[in-house]
Amino acid sequence: MLHVFVFCCQILNIRMQMLPDNTSIGFVHVPSMEEARQAVAHFHRKKIGYKRIHVALAGGGTGTSVSVNSVK
């Protein structure tokens, strides 16, 4: 994920987590709400490899992180 998001904004931290249904979700922490919104606008429904990713503000839109999940 780092090689994808680094072109859009400064990355503070990336955390990956496996879900019970064997899919994974990632959280990308950025310095500001503006950069988080920019990442969502730029990457939501973007195709990476053979999958599209779903990108949204994490924490109900109050934090400076975005969640990334792949969809088919």
Task: Tell me the per-residue pLDDT of 15-70, one tens digit each, with 9 for 90 and over.
Answer: 888 889 888 888 888 888 888 888 888 888 888 788 888 888 886 555 567 777 76
Strands 51-57 and 24-29: unpaired
Residue 4 DSSP code: H
pTM value is: 0.73
Task: Give the residue carrying structure tokens 């109900």.
Answer: 60
CA distances from 58 to 12, 39, 49, 50, 61 (A): 15, 12, 24, 24, 6
